[in-house]
Amino acid sequence: MRREPTDALKGDRYMIGQMADIYIQSIQSPFDNPDTARLGISVVMRADAMGLLAPRAIDRLDLAEWERVARDVSRAGIGQGLFVGHAPATALEPNRFRTMLEHVNEALEASPVPAAEWPALQRVLGPALLARLLDISTVSLRRYQSGARATPDDVGVRLHVLALIVGDLAGAYNDAGIRRWFVRPRTVLGNRAPADILTSGWRPEDPGPRQVRDLANALTASPAT
């Protein structure tokens, strides 16, 4: 069942769908472990691609920034139970903190938030490419984003998968590079571009889209991004 944004997410104060300016140059406790850093960066990038982070500059991953990220993600009704009792994070045993990050990542993956994802993804991909990747018209895209029409479940699922892919790509590419990634042929995809595979009402569980996701996810395999 799709999670709906909380009242705080719907409110003017939240600036829904805005995105952070992320350029992480410093990683500090409790993320000073390669696996923990990789998971933390994944959470931040995915949450931002989903339009959940309040707009701000993020240049370090540390306890203070983690608490801001946790607040933003919780505001969307995602992972609230996971954050309860975690503070102070520095007091958590490292394996327990790493497990919590894994669960937050899983919660983000399982929680479409189309109200935030529409403007966030359109900002990165542009309306023409986003409509193409969703297999819808630009007219329908405008109606869904504005709320004039409810986002159909199948479109919402595809929108969310695109947000997760963009979150994986964001550690390696800027916005222009992300757009090119979707339209550039890839050897591992049989010399097809991801955009050529994400067509005809695609579903996340189909073999082609799964290959596309695996290709993007491979960029997050190392802790350095």
In tens, the pLDDT along 148-190 reads 999 999 999 999 999 999 999 998 999 999 999 999 999 999 9
* CA nearest to 182, candidates 167, 196, 168: 196
- Residue 51 amino acid letter: G
Identify the residue whose tokens are 């190392």. 222
What are 103's two structure tokens? 């669960």
Burial class (CB in 10 A: 0-12, 13-18, 19+), 64: exposed
Q: Residue 64: how many CA atoms within 13 Å on its side-chain side?
A: 4
Q: What is the mean pLDDT of each run of 10 residues along the chain (225 residues)?
A: 39 53 91 93 96 94 92 90 60 82 95 96 97 97 96 97 97 94 96 96 96 92 46
160-to-4, 78, 109 alpha-carbon distances in Å:
13, 14, 8
pLDDT attached to residue 91: 55
- Residue 206 amino acid letter: D
* Mean pLDDT over the full length of the chain: 87
pLDDT attached to residue 220: 72
pLDDT attached to residue 7: 41
Burial 20-32 (b: 16+ CB within 10 A, else e): bebebeebeebbe
**pTM for this entry:** 0.87
What are 160's two structure tokens? 């969310």
pLDDT attached to residue 3: 36
